[in-house]
Copies of this chain bind each other. A is one copy, B any other.
């Protein structure tokens, strides 16, 4: 493959990434509308994708605390606290008090929250079904290649991250 074609490939990868961003952006808008149509209580225009993601995580974990939520969502604890406050107001999640440890606050879904979780899951399943259809035309060998490729990409990105990490901490020492 010529360098020119590789360049083209590089560009098309960036394009796909930006497309995915755009899709994510639209999902946000779609979500509120779908939620309203599904008759889920306490859905207002100010509903955020992050709120739904928190519901998703709590539903997935069964019960979870702020710090672990923050880790899973790569957000700050402060941000999670604020989101949870909103979700409590919506009556989608509730606190679990442990007698043993009063410091940690665990959250779980309410019945209403469970509805949101399931609705969102339903949406995810649709997306995955679309994905399966997308894979339809490809041969077994091609799909197998794709699978290993994705692993390689993931690995390469991890390595890149490490490299950047090291660059950053190296200069933190020398710089002010």
Identify the A interface with B (CB < 8 A).
1, 3, 5-10, 12-13, 15-20, 22-23, 26-27, 29-30, 33, 36-37, 74, 128, 130-132, 134-135, 138, 140, 142-147, 149-154, 156-158, 160-161, 164-165, 167-168, 171, 175
Other contacts beyond A9-B135, A12-B154: 4, CB < 8 A: A6-B131, A7-B128, A29-B168, A146-B149
How far is A10 from B126 in the complex, measured between Cα atoms in Å?
12
Partner of A33, one of B146, B157, B168: B168
Q: B1, A128: Cβ atoms under 8 Å? A: no
Indicate how many identical chains form the complex.
2
* Contact sample, A vs B, 23 pairs, CB 8 Å cutoff: A1-B135, A1-B140, A5-B143, A5-B147, A6-B143, A7-B128, A9-B143, A13-B150, A15-B154, A16-B150, A16-B154, A18-B74, A23-B164, A26-B164, A26-B165, A30-B164, A33-B171, A36-B175, A37-B171, A134-B152, A142-B145, A145-B145, A146-B149
Q: B12, A157: Cβ atoms under 8 Å? A: no
Q: B16, A147: Cβ atoms under 8 Å? A: no
| B contact residues around A138 at 8 Å (CB) | 149
Q: A23, B157: Cβ atoms under 8 Å? A: yes
| B contact residues around A128 at 8 Å (CB) | 7, 10
How far is A120 from B128 in the complex, measured between Cα atoms in Å?
37
